[in-house]
Amino acid sequence: MDVVIYHNPDCGTSRNTLALIRNAGLEPHIVEYLKTPPTRARIVDLVKRMGVSLRHVIREKGTPFAELGLADPSLSDDALLAAIERHPILLNRPIVVTSRGVRLCRPSEEVIDLLPPQLGAFVKEDGERIVDESGRRAASA
């Protein structure tokens, strides 16, 4: 299975998502989107395939969201896309693409539904157990 992850290695959720992909026995194509931002057309395509609004994939925390006035509901998608192009950090992460779909994986365990079965136990960086030794979602997940 081909897997693409739009990844920020400084983000714990993104690192956990990448680790869950690898825990399913896959090595994804990693796009460090802050170094290699997706094009406007790619962002539009990803959002369409997710079946969500563009606002769903905009990150507020730790970004210039407020300073740019992006909470204004009258802003068009074109204006939001232009802001993302100028400030790729506004694109929320991680976004994962597989043959099973496209999803913003927040929380990281959202990626499990896009993957083959997990190969073993998985614990997030914060100690939360997500997958048990049998490769099944843990009761707390």
Active site residue 105: no
Instruction: Tell me the C-alpha distance between 86 and 99, whole Å.
Output: 30
CATH assignment at residue 97: 3.40.30.10
Query: By residue range, what is the domain housing residue 38?
Result: 4-131
- Residue 118 placed within a domain: yes
Catalytic residue among 11, 46, 80, 91: 11
| Count of the separate structural domains present in the chain | 1
- List the one residue out of 35, 33, 24, 19 whose CA is nearest residue 2: 24
pLDDT at 139: 76
- Tens of each residue's pLDDT in the chain, 141 residues: 999 999 999 999 999 999 999 999 999 999 999 999 999 999 999 999 999 999 999 999 999 999 999 999 999 999 999 999 999 999 999 999 999 999 999 999 999 999 999 999 999 999 999 999 999 998 754
Contact 40, 81 (CB under 8 A): yes
Instruction: Tell me the C-alpha distance between 102 and 51, whole Å.
Output: 9
Burial class (CB in 10 A: 0-12, 13-18, 19+), 34: middle
pLDDT digits (tens, 9 = 90+) for 11-22: 999 999 999 999
pLDDT at 37: 96
